[in-house]
Amino acid sequence: MLKLRQPVVIIGLGKTGFACLQFLSEKNISCTVVDSRPQPPFLKKAKETYPQVEIITGSLQHPVVENAGSIILSPGVDIREEVLVSAREKGAEIIGDIEIFARCNHVPVIGVTGSNGKSTVTELTQKLLTSLGVSVAMAGNIGTPVLQLLSNSQFTKEQIQYSELDYIVLELSSFQLDTTTSLRPVAATVLNISPDHLDRYDSFKQYQHSKLSILHENTIAVVPQNNHWELPKVKKIVHFGMDEMSDFSIRKIKNNYFIFIHLNDSVGSKPWMALSEVALSGQHNWLNILASLALVEGAGFSLMGNNKIRLQQVLKKYAGLPHRCEKIITSGQVLWINDSKATNVASTVAALESFATQFSGKIILIVGGDAKNADLTPLVKNIERHVFTLITLGKDGPSIGRLIKNVRIIDVSTLEKAVEISAEIAPDNGLVLLSPACSSLDMFQNFEQRGQQFASAVRRVAA
């Protein structure tokens, strides 16, 4: 039975907050909802569905927050807010929906976090397990709010009932991990950690600690071979990477790349699969494949025999998620790629490195948006080495441009203009890559809207 300290306050009435309200109402746990926004997204629906619940909007500075026993915090709200710090000092526990889920859940969990690649690895892992006949759901920072997994009334006919699940794959952001203490994944990966969300953390080390908190003593930890992290005590460490020392690795043989698995001599003695056969492209996606396979193995499933055939079929078909190095069109010998999900510097660096082998010197890169006070200098080397023309836009686009030398730079005011110019100047056999290295919120509602506008403009101008 879920036990929370009274009074219970939900902060944030977006998708996550409303899911929390639904769940607590089903459990007959009374609560109050508070949101700093005058008109939060689920305000009308909450009032209609739960008229007995007090909803306070416009500010977090309210006695009900200061005197709370349990605060259920939506991940979009900074835990360093003064009223939250005060409430914690008075004895309130500050938790999130993942923590509530962990206290109630009885299904084995596979956890996925990292600065980049989380959604791809979460979905790919789910598809790989499904191919093996496993009943599995994915939730968290992708798709279904996690508490809806525990509520059969929220499921559609296409979704698997909680009681029928064998595994749950959770994508977890650092914000979600900050308010989670009880989750114990059987296997979990920290894909990478690069400077991001530093507006929400006092230091990069604090952000790194948040990511690593997904790992526990009973967890099989899947981590990059080249990490320099101070890992907590775990059950087992499995490495993935581009070098032969990794348990899951990529090896080049006669100008072709192959997946190798080195968990024992019989598996590692020959290639597991040629990367020319997989649908995903780019080195960063190769690493995502390795991490997903390692999670499947870490959950207790063989990667050989009939399982190998099923897993390879998934990898041959899975082309990834929208807005993540997504191919839009090839027109006039020019490839157009939508990587709008690249909301930080490391994502754009990864994209450039992935496409440099084929397109170095013929890349038009579109960057800019809100950099969230991130260090932009790691972009310099790859842009100056591989980019033909840099097109900047948004709040911090010009700041990126000022760092770059010996590359043509064009600043524009709209994404549509960036596409028009790119169509005019793109070289034969070239690449136009939207990989902004910045948040979209200075110009768009979200990265999805930015990617959709880019794709629409490309089809209109370049088709």
Residues in the chain: 463
Q: CATH fold of 101-317, please?
A: UDP-N-acetylmuramoyl-L-alanine:D-glutamate ligase (3.40.1190)
Question: What's the pLDDT score for residue 268?
Answer: 56
Which residues lie closer than 8 Å to 305 by C-beta, 6 or more apart? none
Q: Which residue has the tokens 């992935």?
A: 354
- In the structure, what pLDDT confidence band is assigned to residue 156 with cuts at 50, 70 and 90? very low
Condensed to tens digits (0 to 9), the pLDDT of residues 278-307 reads 988 778 889 999 999 999 999 999 999 999
Which residues lie closer than 8 Å to 178 by C-beta, 6 or more apart? 79, 96, 210
Active site (catalytic) residues:
118, 141, 197
Checking DSSP bridges between strand 93-95 and strand 236-241, what pairing results, if any?
unpaired
Cα–Cα distance for residue pair 102/293, rounded to 1 Å: 24
Condensed to tens digits (0 to 9), the pLDDT of residues 15-53 reads 999 999 999 999 999 999 999 999 999 999 999 999 999
- In the structure, what pLDDT confidence band is assigned to residue 123 with cuts at 50, 70 and 90? very high
Output the average pLDDT for the chain.
Answer: 93
Say which residue, 266 or 352, is predicted with more confidence: 352
- Number of other residues whose CB lies within 10 A of the CB of residue 107: 16
Question: What's the pLDDT score for residue 269?
Answer: 65
Task: Name the helix (H) or strand (E) containing 26.
Answer: helix 15-26
**Res 69 pLDDT > 80:** yes
Cα–Cα distance for residue pair 395/372, rounded to 1 Å: 10
Q: CATH fold of 326-461, please?
A: Protein-Tyrosine Phosphatase; Chain A (3.90.190)
- In the structure, what pLDDT confidence band is assigned to residue 157 with cuts at 50, 70 and 90? very low
Give the mean pLDDT of 305-322.
95
Four-CA torsion 135, 138, 140, 142, nearest 10 degrees: -170
Cα–Cα distance for residue pair 463/461, rounded to 1 Å: 6
Residue 98's nearest CA partner among 53, 141, 135, 136 is 141
Cα–Cα distance for residue pair 56/394, rounded to 1 Å: 34
Question: What's the pLDDT score for residue 60?
Answer: 97
Question: What is the chain's percent helix, strand, coil content, to nearest 5?
Answer: 35, 20, 40
Q: CATH fold of 8-95, please?
A: Rossmann fold (3.40.50)
Condensed to tens digits (0 to 9), the pLDDT of residues 89-109 reads 999 999 999 999 999 999 999
Question: What's the pLDDT score for residue 267?
Answer: 55
**Res 155 pLDDT > 50:** no
Whole-prediction pTM: 0.86
Cα–Cα distance for residue pair 115/220, rounded to 1 Å: 20
Condensed to tens digits (0 to 9), the pLDDT of residues 358-401 reads 899 999 999 999 998 899 999 999 999 999 999 999 999 999 99
Structure tokens given for 346: 């490391």
Q: Which residue has the tokens 């136009």?
A: 432
Structure tokens given for 255: 């100008």
Cα–Cα distance for residue pair 285/56, rounded to 1 Å: 44
Question: What's the pLDDT score for residue 270?
Answer: 85
Cα–Cα distance for residue pair 125/189, rounded to 1 Å: 11
- Number of other residues whose CB lies within 10 A of the CB of residue 191: 23
Question: What's the pLDDT score for residue 415?
Answer: 98
Residue 458's nearest CA partner among 410, 422, 411, 414 is 422
Cα–Cα distance for residue pair 305/303, rounded to 1 Å: 7
DSSP 392: E
Question: What's the pLDDT score for residue 319?
Answer: 87
The domains of the chain are located at: 8-95, 101-317, 326-461
